Structure 1
Amino acid sequence: MALDLIPYHKKNVLIIEDLAEMRSSMKSMLANMGVQSMETVNNGEDALAKLAMNRYHIVFSDYELGRGKDGQQILEEVRHSGLIPASTVYIMVTAAQTVEMVMGALEYEPDGYITKPVTLEILRTRLNRIIRTKDVYREINLAIDKKDINGALEACNRLAVEKPKFALPAYRIKGKLLISEKRFDEAKDIYDTVLGIKRVAWAVLGMGKVEYFQGNYDEAQKLLESLAQTRSKYVEAFDWLSKVLESQGKFKAAQKVLEQAIAESPKSVLRQQELARLAELNGDMEAMYKGCRKATGLSKNSVFKNADNLIRYAKALQPKIKHGSMRDQKIAISEAFGLVESAKTEFHLSLSQMVKCGLVEAQTLFNSGKTLEGKMAYRAVSTMIKDSSALSLDDQLDVLVAKLQFEDEPEAQAYGDDILKKIGGNRRLQTKYYGILDFHLSKIPEARLELLKRRGSELLSIKEYEEAWEVLYKATRLPCADVDCQLDALKAIVNLYKQGERSSDYLGQANELFNLLQNMDSGDPRYPSLEKLRLQWAEQQPDDEQSATG
């Protein structure tokens, strides 16, 4: 399409901009280019209402829109809800392309950016280029808008043949369409073909998705890890790698991967919510709090706001309510009640969600000093959980937390023992179970030590040395820690080093423990075990690195 033949007089345009001067300037420049049909709005809510009612050929959206939804949130909502056709040109207008902004918005694929200040020449040049590129895919996009997937796939094939320089983009669209239709074998053929010609990031990502959907987790992991390690802009690779790891039962690794993704692109609501969910599954209250807090702020004006994240956030606030400063407690109490109320009034809750709401409400009352009110609230919710079979094991562990708080110790412990039998060999749930008991015993160090020693010994027996070290090293920090606990911790770290898991933190912590035991009497029956561990530890150290083992 020749630049001077773009029929701007036939284009219907929406301008989303909160500054009146900028709206007026954009209208004036577009009129100069021949645009006759223009509408403007100054906030996200009005923009979504317009987009729901009308079809626009071109949408300009400012990134920063003051209060309410910002440009990224509008874009993510229209993509998620299908409010704009595939053929619509969507352009983000921004004063400064920060890394956070670009990475966040890129995930929802705007057709282009224009950086302020915008002049007529800049607008004309950028818009001509964007429209000309978009027009290449016109036939494909029109078929997608008609939900004619086979027609869109055929249009992709025609584009690849008729315009070879657009073959790779055409195959990219085709692969995504095939995955959306669950035609995984055909998608795999596309990615095989592309990767046979050139290793491009989107094809690696697509192949990783296909392998994941087909249950080939090892292959999916290799592909997605290779893409994540390139530090490319494919942050989505981290999301899918996290899914793959979770499907393999590697929940902590999945959480760690999402934390890396968030460091790259922190403005994704869904990613923050997913991190909070995984952190809850792992019993990582601090990471759950951070993820929930960020997700709640980002989803305030987003279509992705949901009850689960609100309830999870209220739950994550409990340590602050119980142990925080007076100021932190006051803020956290008010916030927790507000979150629970929002969940109950804004969403239709399932039984599991109603139970969680009731439990966290009772805990908030109890932890804030309203003991009687908390117990009454717990009794009210306990009537809903007489049959625990309707709840997941994770939900039942939430009930255990409440039982330990509100019921007699023997009754709560019996409930916990029953859950532990149901958990069986599930390592993640075992870890969460012991984490709950560990927190419950935080003010009874002797009982806490025995719990940690028992769990550490179990983990050593199944050669899970990393988690054994985490548990046993925590036990050695207790004021009542004993020699047996310290020796078991050293067994864990020595074997962890033998497996190749090393860090400066591990080195310093292990040497500290060896130092604590350096005056053990040679007549102590445990002395030979200590000497054996010293020798094994020394063998694991580089020649140029002196450790406390001597």
Structure 2
Amino acid sequence: MTEASFNLQGQKILIVDDLVEARSALKSMLSVLGADDVYTATDGREAVEHIMEHDFDLVLSDYNLGKAKDGQQILEEARYTSRLRATASFVMITGENAVDRVMGALEYDPDAYVTKPFTLSILRERLYRLSILKTILLPMNRAVDQGQIDWAIEIADQIRIEHPRLLLPVSRLQGKLCLKQERYEDALEAYTRVLESRPASWARLGQAVCFHFLGDTDQAVSLIRATLLDHPLYVQCHDWLAKILIGQGKSEEAQQELEAAVRISPRAVLRQLELGQLALSNESYTVAQDAFEQAMRLARYSCYKSSVTYQQFVEAAQHNLDAEQTKENRLLCNKALRALDEMKQEFSGNMGVVFDATIAESRTYKAVEDDNKARGSADKAEGVLARIKEPTGEQQLTMTEVYIDTGQSEKAANMVQVMKDQGVANKLLQRLGSIEERLSNINAREKSAELNEKGVAHYERGELKEAIAAFDQATRFEEAGISVLLNAIQAKVSYIENEQLDVGQLKDCYRLLRRVGNVGHFDERHDRYKRLKETCERLRRSAGL
């Protein structure tokens, strides 16, 4: 077959473009090339529906399809769902000049790409060359489609021998297949063979990946860094360097590599997610927040859309929120709440997700110290949980934690008892123990506060002995706050000054002062603390101690 006789007759073809003129023009060109079974799609959603229903031989998709799915996301979804056979071809058509978009389109490996504007002769030449390559690779790709990967690797060896001019494309595919099968020595041989014939950055990266899996991490890192010196925009080098650094426990360095990768190609959903998760674990909350926000936006119309991404974005945002009434704080809080509203809407049929979103809403309000709204959202979460037929132990524990956070310790205690009656899974026992400890501390604080109020009442009536007795009971709790401790010192000092010099009570004052520690100048209790401390010093000197 010559280029002049190249014909698309009998092939099932899909054209994806949001512009009717572009679809019509491309369909006319394909008709001239003999195409007689052509489908068209106006957007990504319709394209994916067609791909799910039909086995296409050729997909030609424009990259920029408006606000929803773009060409890259169509390719992602086709690969992710295995609906695009290895024997089929995906051609990306792009008029984009921005580096990030071109890189994004290429890193998911379309079989070819065509840059607008193009003529019939350019299209014919590109499709003809692709057809020749696909015909030669057909036996190998058929084996891949049948799941016989080792057989495909053997066929690749035969093709390489019979067609030495195809050393690069065949070795590249063979290397990927060997890596997939964990045949690292064979993959290394394929990449080395290429590099012995000519320089190729992808082959050097392939070598590095093989060395990594074979245990020679230093050699892998050295090769990747050398490749980046020659090709600083080679985004997969940053990806693999990050993976290796994570394995070495160098998470902050790994984050820097992923940040570099995202700057080069910011439209890859999985990379944004990986950066967000790593930054979150590194407590780099602003980086995590930005990465998850991008991931939410990019995944909105893709197969990677997940409620977890929304939750992770809000979790990162919560770390950046505080009670300050600044414009930035209000904007971030509103952005987090809008994300949760979208999460509820997008996954409204899943009560578990709605519950998670409502819990996150309560915690967001708590982060900005809006206690009334935090409790309101907690009450809504309680209602959602009641609608879940068989709530999990994790959901019940989460509800219990939010009860505590919103000052509903009695409800928390009741939920703990319900869980104990039902039986708690071993993996949840530690978390349950932490909750019970929190409840115990709350009870202690409440009891201490109750005794403090009793002591204050006695003190105000001049009943110093009774006041001291109440404060002594209140301060026995480790959870007693600074104000309670200062009240106890005040009662003892008043007793010593007005009744009698009691060395035991004075020693108690110093013990309590040690528990108070230092009260900062900006603390409203500082002056009182200072005055009581000076009084104790005066009484100590008077007692000759």
TM-score over 0.5 (shorter chain): yes
**Corresponding position: 1:305 with 2:305:** yes
Quick check: 1:310–1:343 contact (8 Å CA) kept in 2?
no
Aligned equivalents of 1:183, 1:354: Cα separation in 2? 44
Alignment-derived partner of residue 380 in structure 1: 399
Partner SS, residue 93 of structure 1: strand
Calculate the aligned-residue CA RMSD, in Å: 3.5
**Corresponding position: 1:152 with 2:152:** yes
- Higher deviation after alignment, 291-300 or 216-225: 216-225
Q: What letter corresponds to residue 262 of structure 1 in structure 2? A: V
- Higher deviation after alignment, 376-385 or 209-218: 376-385
Alignment-derived partner of residue 90 in structure 1: 90
Alignment-derived partner of residue 337 in structure 2: 334
Q: What letter corresponds to residue 341 of structure 1 in structure 2? A: K
Alignment-derived partner of residue 245 in structure 1: 245
Alignment-derived partner of residue 31 in structure 1: 31
Alignment-derived partner of residue 294 in structure 1: 294
Q: What letter corresponds to residue 225 of structure 2 in structure 1? A: E
**Corresponding position: 1:143 with 2:143:** yes
Aligned equivalents of 1:212, 1:354: Cα separation in 2? 42
Alignment-derived partner of residue 45 in structure 1: 45
Q: What letter corresponds to residue 337 of structure 1 in structure 2? A: L
Alignment-derived partner of residue 507 in structure 1: none
Q: What letter corresponds to residue 285 of structure 1 in structure 2? A: Y
128 and 190 in structure 1: CA distance in 2 versus 1, 3 angstrom threshold: closer
Aligned equivalents of 1:213, 1:361: Cα separation in 2? 43
Aligned equivalents of 2:154, 2:307: Cα separation in 1? 42
Quick check: 2:63–2:105 contact (8 Å CA) kept in 1?
no
Alpha-carbon deviations, 1:184-211, whole Å to 9, x = none?
Answer: 2322333344445544222222222223
381 and 211 in structure 1: CA distance in 2 versus 1, 3 angstrom threshold: farther
Aligned equivalents of 1:342, 1:231: Cα separation in 2? 43
Quick check: 1:311–1:343 contact (8 Å CA) kept in 2?
no
Aligned equivalents of 1:348, 1:89: Cα separation in 2? 41
Aligned equivalents of 1:256, 1:389: Cα separation in 2? 38
For these two proteins, the number of residue pairs brought into alignment is 404
Aligned equivalents of 1:321, 1:128: Cα separation in 2? 61
What is the CA-CA distance between 1:150 and the residue it aligns to? Answer: 2.8
Alpha-carbon deviations, 1:278-320, whole Å to 9, x = none?
Answer: 1001001110111011111111111112233211101122224
Quick check: 2:321–2:368 contact (8 Å CA) kept in 1?
no
Q: What letter corresponds to residue 337 of structure 2 in structure 1? A: S
**Corresponding position: 1:14 with 2:14:** yes
Which residues of 2 match residues 412-431 of structure 1 at below 5 A? none
Alignment-derived partner of residue 108 in structure 2: 108
Aligned equivalents of 2:83, 2:251: Cα separation in 1? 35
Alignment-derived partner of residue 258 in structure 1: 258
Aligned equivalents of 1:6, 1:311: Cα separation in 2? 52
TM-score of the pair, normalised by structure 1: 0.66
Q: What letter corresponds to residue 380 of structure 1 in structure 2? A: M
- Higher deviation after alignment, 107-116 or 14-23: 107-116
Q: What letter corresponds to residue 334 of structure 2 in structure 1? A: I
Alpha-carbon deviations, 1:43-73, whole Å to 9, x = none?
Answer: 1111111111111221110111123101111
Alignment-derived partner of residue 71 in structure 1: 71
Aligned equivalents of 1:172, 1:312: Cα separation in 2? 36
Alpha-carbon deviations, 1:340-359, whole Å to 9, x = none?
Answer: 5368647796xxx9997676
What is the CA-CA distance between 1:369 and the residue it aligns to? Answer: 4.6
Alignment-derived partner of residue 169 in structure 2: 169
117 and 409 in structure 1: CA distance in 2 versus 1, 3 angstrom threshold: farther
Which residues of 2 match residues 467-482 of structure 1 at below 5 A? none
Quick check: 1:59–1:90 contact (8 Å CA) kept in 2?
yes
Gap regions ≥5 residues in structure 1: 412-478, 481-550
Which residues of 2 match residues 184-263 of structure 1 at below 5 A? 184-231=184-231, 233-263=233-263
Quick check: 1:208–1:224 contact (8 Å CA) kept in 2?
yes
Aligned equivalents of 1:409, 1:237: Cα separation in 2? 55
Which residues of 2 match residues 434-453 of structure 1 at below 5 A? none
409 and 381 in structure 1: CA distance in 2 versus 1, 3 angstrom threshold: closer
Alpha-carbon deviations, 1:113-142, whole Å to 9, x = none?
Answer: 222233323322332233233333222222
222 and 381 in structure 1: CA distance in 2 versus 1, 3 angstrom threshold: farther
Aligned equivalents of 2:212, 2:107: Cα separation in 1? 20
Aligned equivalents of 1:291, 1:179: Cα separation in 2? 29
Quick check: 2:15–2:23 contact (8 Å CA) kept in 1?
yes
Quick check: 1:322–1:329 contact (8 Å CA) kept in 2?
no
Quick check: 1:12–1:38 contact (8 Å CA) kept in 2?
yes
Larger Rg computed on CA atoms? 2
What is the CA-CA distance between 1:361 and the residue it aligns to? Answer: 3.0
Quick check: 2:317–2:332 contact (8 Å CA) kept in 1?
no
Alpha-carbon deviations, 1:413-468, whole Å to 9, x = none?
Answer: xxxxxxxxxxxxxxxxxxxxxxxxxxxxxxxxxxxxxxxxxxxxxxxxxxxxxxxx
Aligned equivalents of 1:218, 1:344: Cα separation in 2? 45
What is the CA-CA distance between 1:228 and the residue it aligns to? Answer: 2.6
Aligned equivalents of 1:102, 1:367: Cα separation in 2? 40
Alpha-carbon deviations, 1:310-339, whole Å to 9, x = none?
Answer: 111011222246444175156225324325
254 and 359 in structure 1: CA distance in 2 versus 1, 3 angstrom threshold: farther
